[in-house]
Chains A and B, each alone.
Chain A
Amino acid sequence: MNSTLPYYSIRPSLLIQEIKDGSFFNNYKLNIILGHEAEFTPQLYSIVNKLGNKCIISLSAHLLKDLAKLQHLLPEIYTLLALNKISAEKRVLPVLIDGREQPQFINIEVLQNYLIKQGLTGIQLPVFNCSENGLQTVDDCSLFVVKDQLKEVQYAGSEMLSNSGMVNITFSYELIKEIEINEPLINNINDFERYRVINSAIPSGNTHEEELNWELELWKRRTGLYKEFLSLSKHIQEQEYYDLHNWYKNEYEILPLWYKRFGHIIKVIMGKRSFKSLFSDKVKKYRD
């Protein structure tokens, strides 16, 4: 998939419907925005699994506000992240607020702590402000979102860049469909300019170089692991050697000499040792 393509925001219900109708544009990268508990369905898990690196997941802040509800959702969110290869690798889970909420009142830390306990350390949960009035706070970003689900906001990419250090925007899937159907609209919203903004923003799969660097890092770690195994292996085998040695000493070595010699005669009688070997070291002792 072309990493220069932006992500199109879409709600799970619409995505499921689009796939069902067969009208889903398979070459799009999607930002699936979850806004309700009921949207965490087996069907969604299956779709996210199939989309692989073609989608990312975002959460509406609404889901994080109620602590009791959030506790039930934590494993669901983790499952989606584990299925979504980009989120799992890039450690980013955007959160959307609609302007009525304040970022400090959503339980981002609760979610973050849960993910850390599952081993997803260092995950970022950037907050995107989808406020109606168009004003952006310094740390927030704006998104195009699906009509009637969250407030639709449409800012020019350049304005957003000036107000924010890290600009991330995505397009509404519905909007893009409209644009594709009605070509002249592209000029009206200066679409190509926005593509450029998006490319430098959302972790849109990595650039080839970044990917290679990350792979290199994983190989380095793997080399370290194999070195550890070698050293551990020596340690364990030493221990096994001494365990065996002690066992031999306790079970056999402490027996009186005459008893051990008698044992060798028994071995000859049983055909386990050659008779001649009792008198000479130059004779073959045991059969192969």
Chain B
Amino acid sequence: METKPKIAVLYHLFYEDTFVNVGRELQPLLDFETCFLFNICEDTPGKKSIVAALQNEFPGCYIIFTSNKGKDIGGKLALLNLFLRSKEEADLMVFLHDKKSLQALKSSRWKKDLLKIITPENCKKIIRMFRENKDTGLIATKEYIIEEPFTEGKFSGKNGIMLERLLQQYEVSSPVNSFVAGTMFWVRAKAMIDFFLQHDPLEVRMDLEDGNILDNFSGTITHSWERILSWVITSQGYSIKGI
């Protein structure tokens, strides 16, 4: 009989009204041996109700409060730090957040698409994909696996200069330039853990920008790490798969 994998869910909450959906969204993951870790942005009003609701839906879950630094990426790095220090165990990790992207017209469609990875059918399918393909390191909604522009031997997008510097600093060398936009994905936990045992996630977090930064007009360290989180996996020889 196949053993159920241990799963760690790292979920960042920024908005005051999204927690009412979290229980429903994450319901399929309760069928597994799952450890839930939540980060609530300290700027979020109504944290008491959010904490009470999360503790009610996910007894034993970890909840931290952190400042609005690096948006969901900063929150997920703080959760990675907590995961490592709490010595919880996991075979697979799921990175999620309460994406709204209010500045964008197609935001509700984005969120719906990105959450395809935790429907009951897809959870089972993804777990099977990880089990059957040992080289699969990351699985996300296929439409959101996009290619970072790379021309004349260097990254040419808005985040290009920062990407070059950070990849060198953290010795990340990915054979592919595709990454998961939106940072909601499943990942083989070992690959993520191995990297962040070498590089303290809180050290990375320190350099991220404060507040609700966007990369519509210029590059940011935060959006560079949005890309690097995928490449942390691919640089270890694993591949990215879409669903």
Annotate A211-244 by CB proximity to B: 1 below 8 A, 0 otherwise.
0000100110110011011101100110110000
Asked if B44 contacts A218 (CB within 8 A), the reply is yes
In this assembly, does B53 line the interface, its C-beta being within 8 Å of a C-beta of chain A? no
A49-86 vs B: 1/0 string, CB under 8 Å?
10010000000000000000000000110110011010
Mark out the residues of chain B between 62 and 108 whose CB falls within 8 Å of any chain A CB in the assembled complex: 62-69, 74, 78, 81-82, 85-88, 102-105
A185 CA to B45 CA, complexed, in Å = 44
Chain B, residue nearest A79 (CB): B85
* A103 CB, min distance to chain B CBs, angstroms: 27
In the complex, residue of chain B having the shortest beta-carbon distance to the beta carbon of A211 = B48
Let me know if B66 and A82 touch, CB within 8 A. Answer: yes
A37 to B102, CA, bound (A): 44
Q: Are A236 and B216 in contact (CB under 8 A)?
A: yes
Instruction: Let me know if B143 is at the binding interface, CB within 8 A.
Output: no
Q: Which residue of A lies closest to B74 (CB)?
A: A119
B210 at the A interface (CB under 8 A): yes
* Interface footprint category on A: 35 or more
Q: B67 to A118, Cβ gap below 8 A?
A: yes
- Please tell me if the beta carbons of B66 and A83 are within 8 angstroms of each other in the complex: no
Asked if B123 CB lies within 8 Å of chain A CBs, one says no
User: A229 contacts which chain B residues (CB < 8 A)?
Assistant: 102-103
In the complex, which residues of chain A have a beta carbon less than 8 angstroms from the beta carbon of B214?
232
Report the separation of the CA atoms of residues A89 and B67 in the bound assembly, to the nearest whole angstrom: 10
Given A45-B85, A79-B81, A233-B104, also A118-B66 (CB < 8 A): yes
Q: Are B81 and A222 closer than 8 Å at their CB atoms?
A: no
A184 at the B interface (CB under 8 A): no
Cα A240 to Cα B87 in complex, Å, equals 46
Docked Cα-Cα span, A85 to B65, in Å, equals 7
Q: Give the residue name and chain of the B residue nearest to A219 (CB).
A: B45
Chain B residues with CB below 8 A from A218, complex form: 43-45
CA distance A229 to B102 in the complex (A): 6
CB pair B45 A75 closer than 8 Å: no
Question: A222-B16, A236-B103, A236-B216 in contact; A82/B64 too (CB < 8 A)?
Answer: yes
* B64 near A83: Cβ-Cβ < 8 Å: yes
The answer to the question of A287 belonging to the interface, with a C-beta cut-off of 8 Å to chain B, is no
Q: Could you tell me if B78 and A82 are in contact, using CB atoms closer than 8 angstroms?
A: yes
Query: Could you tell me which residues of chain A, from 104 to 139, have a CB within 8 Å of some CB in chain B?
Result: 117-121
CB-CB under 8 A from A45, the residues of chain B are: 62, 82, 85-86
Are B86 and A119 closer than 8 Å at their CB atoms?
no
User: Which residues does chain A contribute within 8 Å of B210, judged by CB atoms?
Assistant: 119
Report the bound CA distance from A236 to B107 in whole Å.
13
- B198 contacts the other chain (CB 8 A): no
Assess whether A46 is interfacial by the CB under 8 Å rule.
yes
Whether the pair B206, A79 counts as a contact (CB closer than 8 A) is no
A75→B43 contact, CB < 8 A: no
* Alpha-carbon separation in the docked complex, A237 to B105 (Å): 8
- Contact with A119, one of B63, B68, B88, B105 (Cβ below 8 angstroms): B68
Bound form: Cα–Cα A119–B214 in Å = 18
Seen from chain B, the residues whose Cβ lies within 8 Å of a Cβ on chain A are 16, 42-47, 51, 62-69, 74, 78, 81-82, 85-88, 102-105, 200, 202, 205-206, 210, 212, 214, 216
Known A-B contacts: A42-B85, A118-B202, A226-B102. Give 9 more (CB < 8 A): A45-B85, A82-B78, A83-B62, A88-B64, A88-B65, A119-B68, A119-B74, A233-B102, A233-B105
Ordered by A's residue number, 5 sampled pairs between the chains whose C-beta atoms are within 8 Å are A46-B86, A79-B82, A85-B65, A118-B69, A119-B66
